[in-house]
Protein backbone atom coordinates (compact mmCIF):
# COMPACT_ATOMS: atom_id res chain seq x y z
CA UNK A 1 0.00 0.00 0.00
CA UNK A 2 1.43 3.33 -1.08
CA UNK A 3 1.31 6.27 1.29
CA UNK A 4 1.70 9.75 -0.22
CA UNK A 5 2.75 12.53 2.14
CA UNK A 6 3.76 16.18 2.19
CA UNK A 7 6.49 17.24 4.58
CA UNK A 8 7.53 20.77 5.39
CA UNK A 9 10.43 22.49 7.07
CA UNK A 10 10.48 26.15 8.03
CA UNK A 11 13.35 28.60 7.62
CA UNK A 12 13.80 32.19 8.83
CA UNK A 13 15.72 35.21 7.68
CA UNK A 14 15.73 38.96 8.29
CA UNK A 15 15.89 41.26 5.29
CA UNK A 16 15.03 44.69 3.95
CA UNK A 17 13.17 45.50 0.78
CA UNK A 18 10.99 48.01 -0.99
CA UNK A 19 8.40 47.25 -3.62
CA UNK A 20 8.86 49.49 -6.67
CA UNK A 21 5.67 48.45 -8.48
CA UNK A 22 3.31 49.52 -5.68
CA UNK A 23 1.46 52.85 -5.98
CA UNK A 24 3.48 55.99 -5.20
CA UNK A 25 2.35 56.70 -1.65
CA UNK A 26 1.91 53.06 -0.63
CA UNK A 27 3.84 52.12 2.54
CA UNK A 28 5.51 49.21 0.73
CA UNK A 29 7.32 51.70 -1.53
CA UNK A 30 9.36 52.80 1.47
CA UNK A 31 12.44 50.87 2.54
CA UNK A 32 11.44 48.52 5.37
CA UNK A 33 12.29 45.12 6.80
CA UNK A 34 10.61 41.85 7.68
CA UNK A 35 11.35 38.76 9.70
CA UNK A 36 10.67 36.53 6.74
CA UNK A 37 9.78 32.89 7.11
CA UNK A 38 9.41 30.30 4.38
CA UNK A 39 8.23 26.73 4.34
CA UNK A 40 9.80 24.21 2.02
CA UNK A 41 7.21 21.56 1.18
CA UNK A 42 8.15 18.23 -0.40
CA UNK A 43 5.75 15.56 -1.57
CA UNK A 44 6.13 11.91 -2.49
CA UNK A 45 5.45 8.30 -1.66
CA UNK A 46 6.80 6.84 1.55
CA UNK A 47 9.15 3.92 1.03
CA UNK A 48 7.37 1.16 3.02
CA UNK A 49 10.65 -0.42 4.05
CA UNK A 50 12.00 2.87 5.45
CA UNK A 51 8.75 4.39 6.72
CA UNK A 52 9.74 7.90 5.73
CA UNK A 53 9.86 10.11 2.64
CA UNK A 54 13.03 12.14 3.11
CA UNK A 55 15.40 13.05 5.90
CA UNK A 56 14.56 16.61 7.08
CA UNK A 57 18.31 17.14 7.12
CA UNK A 58 18.34 16.92 3.31
CA UNK A 59 15.86 19.80 3.15
CA UNK A 60 18.01 21.80 5.55
CA UNK A 61 21.14 21.09 3.54
CA UNK A 62 19.46 22.34 0.36
CA UNK A 63 17.85 25.42 1.95
CA UNK A 64 20.66 26.77 4.13
CA UNK A 65 22.76 28.21 1.28
CA UNK A 66 19.62 29.99 0.05
CA UNK A 67 18.94 31.42 3.51
CA UNK A 68 22.54 32.65 3.63
CA UNK A 69 22.02 34.51 0.35
CA UNK A 70 19.00 36.34 1.81
CA UNK A 71 19.68 36.87 5.51
CA UNK A 72 20.44 40.51 6.44
CA UNK A 73 20.54 41.66 2.82
CA UNK A 74 18.67 44.34 0.92
CA UNK A 75 16.65 42.00 -1.28
CA UNK A 76 16.29 44.46 -4.18
CA UNK A 77 20.06 44.24 -4.76
CA UNK A 78 20.08 40.44 -5.16
CA UNK A 79 20.20 39.19 -8.74
CA UNK A 80 16.70 38.23 -9.85
CA UNK A 81 15.02 40.03 -6.94
CA UNK A 82 14.90 43.64 -8.11
CA UNK A 83 11.14 43.50 -7.41
CA UNK A 84 11.09 41.37 -4.25
CA UNK A 85 7.39 40.81 -3.68
CA UNK A 86 6.47 37.69 -1.70
CA UNK A 87 5.36 36.18 -5.02
CA UNK A 88 8.70 36.78 -6.75
CA UNK A 89 10.61 35.70 -3.68
CA UNK A 90 8.71 32.39 -3.53
CA UNK A 91 9.55 31.73 -7.17
CA UNK A 92 13.19 32.76 -6.68
CA UNK A 93 13.56 30.33 -3.76
CA UNK A 94 11.80 27.60 -5.77
CA UNK A 95 14.24 27.98 -8.68
CA UNK A 96 17.21 27.80 -6.30
CA UNK A 97 15.95 24.71 -4.47
CA UNK A 98 14.32 22.58 -7.14
CA UNK A 99 17.57 21.21 -8.67
CA UNK A 100 18.79 20.01 -5.25
CA UNK A 101 15.37 18.90 -4.07
CA UNK A 102 13.45 17.08 -6.82
CA UNK A 103 10.55 16.27 -4.45
CA UNK A 104 9.91 19.99 -3.92
CA UNK A 105 6.14 20.65 -4.10
CA UNK A 106 5.74 24.20 -2.77
CA UNK A 107 7.47 27.21 -1.31
CA UNK A 108 5.37 29.27 1.07
CA UNK A 109 6.79 32.69 1.90
CA UNK A 110 5.44 34.40 5.02
CA UNK A 111 6.23 38.08 4.88
CA UNK A 112 4.44 38.81 8.15
CA UNK A 113 2.60 36.72 10.74
CA UNK A 114 -0.60 37.05 8.75
CA UNK A 115 0.47 37.31 5.08
CA UNK A 116 1.87 34.51 2.96
CA UNK A 117 2.30 33.40 -0.63
CA UNK A 118 2.47 29.82 -1.90
CA UNK A 119 4.19 28.93 -5.18
CA UNK A 120 4.29 25.44 -6.61
CA UNK A 121 6.26 25.82 -9.80
CA UNK A 122 3.52 26.74 -12.28
ZN1 LIG B 1 7.47 44.38 2.79
Contact 98, 104 (CB under 8 A): yes
CA of residue 72 to ligand 1 center, whole Å: 14
Give me ligand 1 centre to Cα 31, in Å: 8
Of all residues in the chain, the percent with pLDDT exceeding 70 is 100
pLDDT tens for 9-24 read 999 999 999 999 999 9
- Number of helical (H) and strand (E) elements in the chain, helices listed first: 2, 5
- Tell me the CA–centroid distance for residue 35 and ligand 1, in Å: 10
Name the percent of the chain lying above pLDDT 90. 98
pLDDT recorded at residue 1: 78
Which pLDDT value is given to residue 98? 97
Measured in Å, residue 54 CA sits from the centre of ligand 1 at 33
Mean pLDDT, the chain, as a whole number?
Answer: 97
When pLDDT is averaged across residues 25-42 and rounded to a whole number, the result is 97
Active site residues: 28, 72, 111
Amino acid sequence: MVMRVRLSKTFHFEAAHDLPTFPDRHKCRRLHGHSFRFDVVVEGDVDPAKGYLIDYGEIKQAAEPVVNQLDHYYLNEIEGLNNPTAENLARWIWLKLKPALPLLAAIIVHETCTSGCEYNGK
